[in-house]
């Protein structure tokens, strides 16, 4: 990436530890992993929109045929190999990665299995971080389908793990959505433990909104390019309207994909609240403005693939907005097509170039360095003394 001074830190980078892949292989509904004739790697099927192609391919396989369309994406070693993660970091000159379990995390587990599996996955991440001491930290997975007691106990446990710097959370699999008042004790426990929530999308929007041509014609573009960021925006706005940021003022969130669309829509959210007869009459407006939340309790990653988005993200985050934005890659998603996966990934170099384009006018390069790593080191305390 060519940033000579300061550390480059990737705070948005995923892994499926081998045990997690085994779980996916054993499943009969999405998310799952399947092998097909005609594809050298097993296939990872995550999205609702992939199910029709999966069903066709399963039927072809059962008939002993090679499927015309192979569903999902190749589950390469980029998903589960620590060596591959380190190679990816070397290739892109990334000094430190804060890894997290990829979506959909543990959302699909039964209440009874969630607790033990979470503990085992987090132990996997701890071991990897220990092995690459100082180069790797992680956001823990929580057993969100278990009881509140189990979740709270898991929060206490992960906060004691030396390389854990927060938790990754989806927008679902927990109560009735993140604005469920039953979740307040969980948010309070995370705030008390000083664990940041990395909020990440997975479920997108109902398929109907993409229209009848999408499945056939537009690949995964609509659910990934629009559904993911819209899901994040909706989830965090629901939390905001429910008063979570007022009630848990020490809660810190890191929002994937530069907040989805929150920086762009914050003004409209404020205006709609100001003009809403129901909130006006009920006196239930949030106490903090969305701008205050953005500049005090929310951090954004820099995974938005344009200087336009990055500048808006920083501008929305207040006067010190350039201290609230953190570089990320989204590895191992969005691999290069038709070129070597061992080399540079365009999805990474685009985001690096966008950071330089957005903030490179700062002659000393301080803003670029902060976004590329300085902010993450400071906010997430990414120092580890006494590595063996």
Within residues 167-196, the interface with its own copies by CB under 8 A covers 176-177, 179-180
In 132-227, alpha helices (H): 148-159, 184-192, 214-217, 221
- Calculate the alpha carbon distances from 11 to 24, 137, 217 in Å: 25, 9, 33
CA dist 248 and 49 (Å) reads 36
Taking the least distance from each CB to its own copies, the nearer of 62 and 282 is 282
Site track 230-249 with its own copies (rule: CB under 8 A), x = hit? x--xx--xx--xx-------
Q: Which is nearer to its own copies, 74 or 185 (CB)?
A: 74
Binding flags for its own copies, 363-382, as an x/- string (CB under 8 A): --------------------
Strand partners, 141: 168
In the window 322-341, what residues touch its own copies (CB under 8 A)?
334-338
The DSSP annotation for 95-148 comes to -EEEEEEPTTTTTTS-HHHHHHHHHHHHHHHHHHHHHTTTTEEEEEE--TTS-H
Residues in region 65-104 near its own copies by CB under 8 A: 73
- The residue (of 161 and 353) whose beta carbon lies closer to its own copies is 353
Q: Is 71 exposed, middle or buried (0-12, 13-18, 19+ CB in 10 A)?
A: buried
Q: Which of 261, 329, 369, 375 binds its own copies (CB under 8 A)?
A: 261
Using CB under 8 A, pick the residue from 284, 339, 342, 343 that binds its own copies.
Answer: 284
* Number of residues near its own copies (by CB under 8 A): 72
Is residue 271 close enough to count as binding its own copies by CB under 8 A? yes
- Selected binder of its own copies within 59, 111, 123, 274 (CB under 8 A): 274
Q: How far is CA 348 from CA 2, 26, 327, 352, 372, in A?
A: 13, 32, 10, 6, 12
What is the closest distance, in whole angstroms, from the C-beta atom of residue 194 to its own copies in the complex? Answer: 28
Reference 346, options 337, 356, 359; nearest CA is 337
Q: How far is CA 124 from CA 98, 237, 245, in A?
A: 14, 33, 32
Give yes or no for a contact between 111 and 119, defined as CB atoms under 8 angstroms apart.
Answer: no
- The least distance separating its own copies from the CB of residue 277, rounded to whole angstroms, comes to 6
Binding residue (CB under 8 A) for its own copies from 15, 186, 254, 354 = 354
Task: Output 85 or 257, the one with its CB closest to its own copies.
Answer: 257
179-185-190-192 Cα dihedral, nearest 10 degrees: 130
The residue range among 19-27, 155-163, 260-268, 363-371 that interacts with its own copies, by the rule CB under 8 A, is: 260-268
Nearer to its own copies, 254 or 316 (CB): 316
Q: How far is the CB of 34 from its own copies (least distance, A)?
A: 16
Cβ nearer to its own copies, comparing 92 with 135: 92
Helix (H, G, I), strand (E, B) or coil at 300: strand
Query: CB of 211 within 8 A of CB of 268?
Result: no
Which residue among 21, 347, 356, 365 contacts its own copies (CB under 8 A)? 347
- Nearer to its own copies by Cβ, of 208 and 385: the residue is 208
Q: How far is the CB of 377 from its own copies (least distance, A)?
A: 26
Output the CA–CA distances (angstroms, integers) from residue 328 to 26, 33, 236, 249, 250, in the order listed: 31, 26, 20, 26, 24
Nearest CB to its own copies, comparing residues 318 and 365: 318
């Amino acid at each position: 990436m060519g940033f000579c001074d300061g550390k480059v830190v990737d705070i948005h980078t995923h892994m499926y530890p081998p045990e997690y892949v085994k779980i996916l292989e054993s499943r009969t509904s999405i998310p799952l992993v399947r092998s097909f004739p005609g594809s050298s790697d097993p296939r990872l099927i995550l999205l609702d929109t992939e199910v029709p192609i999966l069903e066709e391919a399963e039927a072809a396989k059962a008939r002993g045929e090679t499927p015309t369309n192979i569903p999902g994406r190749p589950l390469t070693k980029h998903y589960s190999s620590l060596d591959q993660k380190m190679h990816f970091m070397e290739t892109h000159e990334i000094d430190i990665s804060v890894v997290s379990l990829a979506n959909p995390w543990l959302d699909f587990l039964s209440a009874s299995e969630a607790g033990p599996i979470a503990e085992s996955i987090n132990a996997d991440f701890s071991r990897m971080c220990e092995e690459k001491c100082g180069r790797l930290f992680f956001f823990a997975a929580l057993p969100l389908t278990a009881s509140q007691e189990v979740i709270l106990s898991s929060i206490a446990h992960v906060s004691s793990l030396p390389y854990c710097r927060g938790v990754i959370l989806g927008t679902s699999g927990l109560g009735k959505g993140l604005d469920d008042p039953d979740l307040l004790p969980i948010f309070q426990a995370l705030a008390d433990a000083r664990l940041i929530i990395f909020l990440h999308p997975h479920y997108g929007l109902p398929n109907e909104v993409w229209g009848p041509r999408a499945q056939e014609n537009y690949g995964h573009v609509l659910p990934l390019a629009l559904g993911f960021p819209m899901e994040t925006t909706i989830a965090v706005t629901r939390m905001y309207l429910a008063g979570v940021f007022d009630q848990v003022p020490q809660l810190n969130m890191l929002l994937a994909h530069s907040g989805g669309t929150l920086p762009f829509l914050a003004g409209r959210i404020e205006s709609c609240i100001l003009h809403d007869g129901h909130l006006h009459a009920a006196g239930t407006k949030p106490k903090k403005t969305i701008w205050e939340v953005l500049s005090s309790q929310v951090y954004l990653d820099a995974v938005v693939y344009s200087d336009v988005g990055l500048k808006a993200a920083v501008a929305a985050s207040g006067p010190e907005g350039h201290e609230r934005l953190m570089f990320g890659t989204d590895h191992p998603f969005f691999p290069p097509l038709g070129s070597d996966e061992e080399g540079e990934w365009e999805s990474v170099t685009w985001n690096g170039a966008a950071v330089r384009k957005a903030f490179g006018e700062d002659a000393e390069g301080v803003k670029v360095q902060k976004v590329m790593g300085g902010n993450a080191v400071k906010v997430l305390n990414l120092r580890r003394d006494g590595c063996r």
